[in-house]
Amino acid sequence: MSGIFISGTDTGVGKTLICGYLAGYLRQQGVNVITQKWVQTGCKCSSEDLEMHRQIGELEDDPELAPLVNPYCLPLAASPHFAAPQAGVTIEPDVIVGAYRQLSQRFDLVLVEGMGGVLVPLREDLLIADMAARLNLLAVVVVHNRLGCINHTLLTIEALRNRQIPIFGLIFNRMDEGEDERILRDNLQIIPTLSGVCVLGEMPYLSDPLHGAAQFAPIGEAFLRQWRGDG
């Protein structure tokens, strides 16, 4: 199977946590998995998101793989197309392609965490979704389950389909307390009804987001069952 593009309906929807928990669950099930972040912005010398993956998923840190798991690390916390020139860096698609392909040859599965939403520009002539399409990745969309997520999710699905990117499934993530339960439950029903995309599960609200492996397990099981073709 191709790698998995962990995207989201926006920035700050929990992609990093979901990617880390998924990697950790798959590792526990015997899958030789690694995470990758093509461009990390807002960092000095290493990817904070990848460090979070390792912490949550209890993944090994191999310094030799650092240039492959994070080809570009930029100090300015901004869209890659803007952060790169501020650092005197040119994002080269071939560098990303080469890094991904090397990892895909060494691991059973590469989980690629996106940046923001699917139409974030890596540079002025290349969106992140276009790179995912070039690498034939499947997409998992992380949805911040809240009022307004129907529109954001359907637009994300439409953008992916316009680029012929197969959508593996949706993972809903509750990030806030006090939301109207009726609306949240309806989101879980109406979005797959309108889109035809399956829901892998919902992550409940966590008072401590770094300790949710048990809560994520049913989502990981659903992902693995579908990945192996068992359901």
113-166 pLDDT, tens digit per residue, is 999 999 999 999 999 999 999 999 999 999 999 999 999 999 999 999 999 999
Q: Directed axis angle between helix 48-57 and helix 15-28, to 10°?
A: 40
Which band of pLDDT confidence, cut at 50, 70 and 90, is reported for residue 93? Answer: very high
Q: Which domains does the chain have, with CATH numbers?
A: 4-33+92-227 (3.40.50.300)
Taking the model in full, what pTM does it have? 0.94
d(CA 211, CA 209): 6
Residue 37 annotated to the active site:
yes
Catalytic residue among 6, 9, 19, 37: 37
